[in-house]
Structure formats: C-alpha cells, structure tokens
Amino acid sequence: MLIFTLVGSIWLEIFLKVGVLRRIKRALLSILPVSVIFLIWDYYAVTQGHWWFDEKQVVGIFGPRGVPLEEFLFFLVVPLASLLTIEAVRSRRPHWKFGDEK
C-alpha cells in the first residue's frame, strides 16, 4: 500500500517537475510536525484499542507498543504524496494562485 502510494505520486516529481523533493527543507518543515501530531494520535488510539494491525501482514519490524514500521512510514509517505499532488495541480493550473508565488 505504501509502495503504491509512493509510486503513484513520485512520478509527479520526475515528469511534472513539481520540485517537492528538490525543496526538501520546506517539505520536511511541512511533513514532520504533522507526522509527530498524528503519531501521538496513533499511539493514543493503539493504546486505547481504537485500532490494531495484523502482525502477520506487516514486515515484522515494530516500534514501541507494537506499532509496525509501516505505520511510521505512513505518516511520512502520505503527507509527502499530498504535497506532490498539490504541486502537480499547481503545475497544470498555474493561474490558480495560492499567495506563495514569487
């Protein structure tokens, strides 16, 4: 699923030249605070039993409290894919302004 998301969005960087990975500092400043906030939520949910993962269907590397590696990667890959998506829309529709243009 993570590979699907990554492959499904990373081509935007290469072919549409959206330049998200090129602007890695801005990307990390946008992704990491979100990763931290949502990991806290995730940990709350896991410890309260809101959701759980099938141990047989993950690669088998676990962080504290049995949260699989995939879950940590999820909070990096999905926000990154969202930035690639919005920049891809911008590259196709340059007249739709965000107010951060040069």
Partner 1 sequence: MTYTQLAILSVLLVIITDRYLLKVRLLEKKSYWTAYAIIIFFQLLTNWWLTSRNILSYSEEVIIGWRIASAPVEDLLFGFSMVTLTMSLWIFWGRKGIQRD
Summarize as ranges the residues that interact with partner 1 (CB under 8 A): 1, 4-5, 8, 19, 23, 25-27, 29-31, 33-34, 37-38, 41, 44-45, 48-54, 57-58, 75, 78-79, 81-83, 85-86, 88-90, 93, 96-102
Q: How far is the CB of 45 from partner 1 (least distance, A)?
A: 7
Taking the C-alpha atoms of residue 59 and residue 71, their distance in angstroms, rounded to an integer, is 11
Q: How far is the CB of 23 from partner 1 (least distance, A)?
A: 4
* Angle, vertex CA 24, rays to CA 3 and CA 2, nearest 5: 10
Q: Which two tokens stand for residue 63?
A: 């962080």
